[in-house]
Amino acid sequence: MSGENCFNVLDKIFIPKNKQDIENIKGYTIKYGNIVENGEIIDEVLVSYFKSPKSYTTENMCEINSHGGNVIVKKILEMCLKNGAELAEPGEFTKRAFINGRIDLLQAESVIDIINAKSEREAKTGIKQLEGFLSEKIAEIKKEIMDVMVNIEVVIDYPEYDVEDVTNKQVEDMLISVQDKLEKLEKSFDNGKIIKEGIKTVIVGRPNAGKSSLLNAILKEDRAIVTEFEGTTRDTIEEFVTINGIPLKLVDTAGIRKAKDEVEKIGIEKTKEMTKEAELVIAIFDSSEELTKEDMEILDLIKDKKTIIVLNKSDLPSKTNENDVRLKKASESIINISALNKKGIEGLYDEISKLFNLNEINLDHEIVITNLRHKNLINKANENVKKAKEALKQKMPLDIIAIFIKDILEDLGTITGEIATDDIIDEIFSKFCLGK
């Protein structure tokens, strides 16, 4: 519970073993006791006390730690509501922390990123934003702009001092510097998108090439059915797996061949469609056989795609190898594996890391944009920088240039929430689960 009256509500349902007036209880302390209704003990609990302003929301807060189980938790919640509490809205605790000035909007959004993280790198990026690294960078850019804006205002208000030429040079240097910083942040979104959303990866090949065996080997579980019969996989199977801290959305597809029935035909068409949409294609071929007509169709399908060619069944005598010019023409990344024996899988991970420069994403020394809202606003700010530079080049009056510069500050202020509208704030917090 959070709010001015949360201790009053707590006092109606909680009896500590050692009774104290709330004024004498220090913040960051835990008291042991019972939740009681009409003299009957409902549960044995621990209650944590946080006193304003030293709490998550900056308000008085308490946390009731009960034994697990939906029945007890639901009962305690009902008792809180019955005695004056109100059910929190989605993200309301974090929203209060933002409204009360403990965190900015960037940091508030990072909370949901941490909660929804699918990999350690994504969680680490969220933690860095919660700690304020991106907020500090935005503040640094804004200060650089404001230092020059002061001089612009002087020139506009007191033109008789004749310092416009000096100010123009300061504006030009500032805009070049700000543009460089904004472009670096904007480019970091490429890595941020990979960290947050993962790499959409499609495994494609003809029937019995080993697609499902490869998926099972990567997942280290029998997720897909593997038999000696062709056409076992008739629809897509999707799973997330983390490789070098980056999530891969793996899609096992129906084998490409001449369909034997309408269901298989639909599955094959879906395979082709998903291959076109994929960010990475793992094209698997049976190295114990010569390349077939279906294999050639796959090679045609993957041209111009970021592809790793996997020659499976390295445990059998080879009839197709990595020196085949038809394979080399389709991709420079060709590896040999035995999906059945789980040999060579690490080599596949290495190739994925190389293709997407995963080892170069250093979260210890880089600020990475993972949020599309932030990226779009940084892009908008950068466009206003370009407009200001063009206005300066056209020798327009400083008061015109100042309009574009103020727009840059507004874009940056919208990122951190200093001037964000209620609609934007409500939309962001609506993505949170209840409370938080």
CB 275 within 8 A of CB 302: yes
Q: Give the sheet arrangement for strand 199-204, strand by strand.
A: 237-243, 246-252, 199-204, 280-286, 307-312, 334-336
pLDDT tens-digit series, residues 306-332: 999 999 999 899 999 999 999 999 999
Q: What integer pLDDT is reported at residue 119 of this predicted model?
A: 78
CA 67 from chain centre, in angstroms, equals 33
Q: Is the model's pLDDT at 107 over the cut of 60?
A: yes
Greater confidence (289 vs 434) lies with: 289
Q: Which of 148-157, 221-230, 356-365 has the lowest mean pLDDT?
A: 221-230
Most confident of 128-132, 229-233, 263-267, 353-357: 128-132
The mean pLDDT of the chain is: 86
pLDDT tens-digit series, residues 379-435: 999 999 999 999 999 989 888 999 999 999 999 999 999 887 888 888 888 888 877
Q: Which of 39-53, 55-69, 158-172, 320-334 has the lowest mean pLDDT?
A: 158-172
Q: What integer pLDDT is reported at residue 76 of this predicted model?
A: 96
Q: Is 198 exposed, middle or buried (0-12, 13-18, 19+ CB in 10 A)?
A: buried
Q: What integer pLDDT is reported at residue 393 of this predicted model?
A: 92
Q: Is the model's pLDDT at 271 over the cut of 70?
A: yes
CB 99 within 8 A of CB 118: no
Bridging pattern class, strands 29-37 and 40-50: antiparallel
Residue 314, CB half-sphere, CA atoms under 13 Å: how many?
17
What is the mean pLDDT of the segment spanning 368-373?
89
Percentage, residues of the chain above pLDDT 90: 49
Banded model confidence at residue 262, pLDDT cuts 50, 70, 90? low
Banded model confidence at residue 92, pLDDT cuts 50, 70, 90? very high
Banded model confidence at residue 235, pLDDT cuts 50, 70, 90? very low
CB 181 within 8 A of CB 412: no
Q: What integer pLDDT is reported at residue 384 of this predicted model?
A: 96
Greater confidence (216 vs 59) lies with: 59
pLDDT tens-digit series, residues 214-234: 888 887 755 433 334 344 343
Percentage, residues of the chain above pLDDT 70: 89
Contact residues for 348 (Cβ-Cβ < 8 A; gap 6+)? 218, 282, 308, 310, 335, 337
Distances (CA, A) of 115 to 91, 368, 417, 432: 12, 18, 21, 9
Q: What integer pLDDT is reported at residue 402 of this predicted model?
A: 92
Q: Is the model's pLDDT at 238 over the cut of 80?
A: no
What is the mean pLDDT of the segment spanning 108-118?
88
Among 47, 39, 38, residue whose Cα is nearest residue 17 = 47
Q: What integer pLDDT is reported at residue 68 of this predicted model?
A: 76
CB 170 within 8 A of CB 203: no
Residue 393, CB half-sphere, CA atoms under 13 Å: how many?
8
Q: What integer pLDDT is reported at residue 96 of this predicted model?
A: 94
348 token code pair:
């596949």
Q: Which of 44-48, 91-95, 182-186, 258-262 has the lowest mean pLDDT?
A: 258-262
Q: Is the model's pLDDT at 51 over the cut of 90?
A: yes
